[in-house]
Amino acid sequence: MKLRTLTTLFLLLFLLAIGIMISLTHGAWSIPAGRVVEVLLYKCGAAISPPPTPVEVAIIWNGRLPRVATAALVGFALALAGTVMQGIFRNPMAGPGVVGISSGAALGAVIAIYLGFTVVFPTALPLFAIIGALLTLITVFTIATSGGRTSIATLLLAGIALNLILGAVTSFVITLSTREFDVARVIVTWLMGDLNNRTWTHVVIAGLTLALAAGLVLCYVRELDILMLGEESAISLGVDINRSRNLLLFAASLATGGAIAVSGSIGFIGLVAPHMVRAVVGPGNRRLFPVAGLLGAVFLVYADLFVRLVISVDLKVGVLTSLLGGPFFLYQIVRYRKRFEYM
């Protein structure tokens, strides 16, 4: 691994560690860093004298640590999905929402909330979100595949159409939910992207889906590198284009669905993170995945710190990421507009 890549990895790990420690020590009840370490060691079975108080354990272990861990995992998952999308479509402006999987996951979660399944079954939200993402992916591929070949252009157009349809259906469900204020409030808050009141259940869900998606991507990272050379080159090198592309998109859908299930709709991390680190570590996906993932984790951890400690109003982290990512996306459009073809 190149020195520049290793340096970037260590820098991001350092920033992530600092962000996690700030998140654990600061809040309505400030706790010294040394005491935070003692609480963590105590929960791992170490003998601490005097032992932490129940309040300190509740604040750090049951409150702040699950929240910051969820933020890091969600940021990593979205960046991973964005890296896969940009590689498959060979487009630096591609992201998890490009084929509608983000909208599908959001609709699935909104339906679970509206029907009250989340009250009875804690795992209903992530299950519905992942199912929504996968059903959307299947629908897009069914539309774009003909004669055993999948057209990238048709895939993108189908994704745009499904984004509009799924967004409209989500709005309709929100309209229905306005009859029950509490349900409507939960749905709207969730759609804005929120990391409040995260638990270890959310950490497990995000961690498992990310681990499965990352494992699948690593198994096909060579094929993704070859796919970036073009379909003709990939075929000549013996790559099964449809199988590799389908499995990689499935991994991106799984990562996106798991992330959205535990954090709500958080946009633009999948677009920004891989694009920023590609200029540093190069286009090789074996190096790009961990670096982009860590940048996504760092980005979301610090964004959550900003809305929790700096802003006095109840600003949701998903709103902040959109406010930061939107201008970056417009900048990329202006930067790459000369490459576009006009009819």
**Per-residue pLDDT reduced to its tens digit, 103-115:** 898 899 899 888 8
pLDDT at residue 174, as a whole number: 85
pLDDT at residue 337, as a whole number: 58
pLDDT at residue 300, as a whole number: 95
Q: pLDDT of 139-163, one tens digit each?
A: 887 887 777 676 777 877 888 888 8
Is the CATH number 1.20.1090.10 carried by domain 68-331? no
pLDDT at residue 115, as a whole number: 87
Q: pLDDT of 50-74, one tens digit each?
A: 888 889 889 999 999 999 999 999 9
The C-alpha atoms of residue 334 and residue 332 are separated, in whole angstroms, by 5
pLDDT at residue 67, as a whole number: 94
Task: Give the pLDDT band (50/70/90) at residue 282.
Answer: confident
Domain residue spans in the chain? Answer: 68-331
The C-alpha atoms of residue 154 and residue 129 are separated, in whole angstroms, by 24
Task: Give the pLDDT band (50/70/90) at residue 1.
Answer: low
| Sign, Cα dihedral of 64, 65, 66, 67 | positive
Nearest to 286 by CA among 207, 226, 242: 226
Tokens of 212: 């499965």
Task: Give the pLDDT band (50/70/90) at residue 343.
Answer: very low
The C-alpha atoms of residue 91 and residue 314 are separated, in whole angstroms, by 35
Where do runs of H (alpha helix) occur along the chain? 3-25, 33-43, 54-59, 65-89, 101-114, 117-120, 124-144, 152-177, 181-191, 200-219, 221-227, 231-236, 241-263, 269-281, 285-305, 317-336
Length in residues, the chain? 343
Tokens of 14: 């350092």
Model confidence at 290: pLDDT above 90: yes
Mean pLDDT of the chain: 85
pTM, two decimals, is: 0.89
Between 49 and 211, residue with greater pLDDT: 211
The stretch 308-319 carries a mean pLDDT of: 79
Q: Which 3 state secondary structure label does DSSP give 27?
A: coil
Model confidence at 236: pLDDT above 60: yes
pLDDT at residue 251, as a whole number: 92
Pairing of strands 145-146, 149-150: antiparallel
